[in-house]
Amino acid sequence: MLRNSNAEIRGGAAVALGRIGDIKAIQALLPVLNDVDVYPRSATASALGRIGDATVIPTLTLILTKDAEAQVRTAAAEALGRLGDRQASEALVKALKDSNNYVRTAAAVALGQTGGEAATLTLIEALKDTDRLVRSAAAESLGRNNDIRAVRPLIEALGDPDQFVRTNAAYSLGRLGD
């Protein structure tokens, strides 16, 4: 099914393998990351994250930084977040500078899952992003990193014009206070 002529079927097969979660599927999935169609590539990146094996981190970080399609880069960032390994932090930090707001948002969420000092500093910076989704994700993720350096920037984010940014900032301040 991963070699079917129909892109929807190839993507669906990747989704199914990800849901099954068997690490034996990784070798069959890796070539699909070079598919000519976007959906099979993004579905494969997601599937690799669902399988949960850290050996795919270098491959996913490469996809995050090199794939031409934002949908695929977004899926790679989400997959890296699901893996929750700090090994991915450097690529996720760079992804917060991506030209696409969905990629930046996914990177902000993922940095909340991977953590680390670089993640905190970058997420603080992301609170000033021009896109409200990125700011909101950064505010939420800062509450997961348990770093008191986020307190002052989160207090400032309580004045953000977007209600979701304010809500996530308040939520994160509550988490940091626990």
What integer is the mean pLDDT of 114-141? 95
Between the CA of residue 90 and those of 67, 132, 153, what are the distances in Å? 17, 23, 22
Between the CA of residue 33 and those of 19, 65, 125, what are the distances in Å? 17, 13, 31
The 10s digit of each residue's pLDDT in 72-95 is: 999 999 999 999 999 999 999 999
**Phi and psi angles of residue 99, each rounded to the nearest 5 degrees, phi first:** -70, -20
What is the residue type of 49? G
* Positions of CATH 1.25.10.10 in the chain: 1-88, 115-178
| CATH code matching the domain that covers 115-178, chosen among 3.20.20.10, 3.20.20.70, 1.25.10.10, 1.10.10.10 | 1.25.10.10
pLDDT of residue 68: 98
Helix H or strand E encompassing 39: helix 38-51
Coarse DSSP helix, strand, coil percentages of the chain, rounded to the nearest 5 percent: 80, 0, 20
Q: Across the chain, what does the average pLDDT equal?
A: 96
Tell me: pLDDT of 117 over 90.
Answer: no
The number of residues in the chain equals 178
Say which CATH class 1-88 falls into.
mainly alpha
Tell me: pLDDT of 99 over 70.
Answer: yes
pLDDT of residue 58: 97
What's the sign of the alpha-carbon dihedral 68, 88, 113, 79? positive
What integer is the mean pLDDT of 146-173? 97
Tell me: pLDDT of 116 over 90.
Answer: no
pLDDT of residue 72: 99
- Structure pTM? 0.94
Tell me: pLDDT of 178 over 70.
Answer: no
The 10s digit of each residue's pLDDT in 22-81 is: 999 999 999 999 999 999 999 999 999 999 999 999 999 999 999 999 999 999 999 999
Rg (CA), the chain: 17
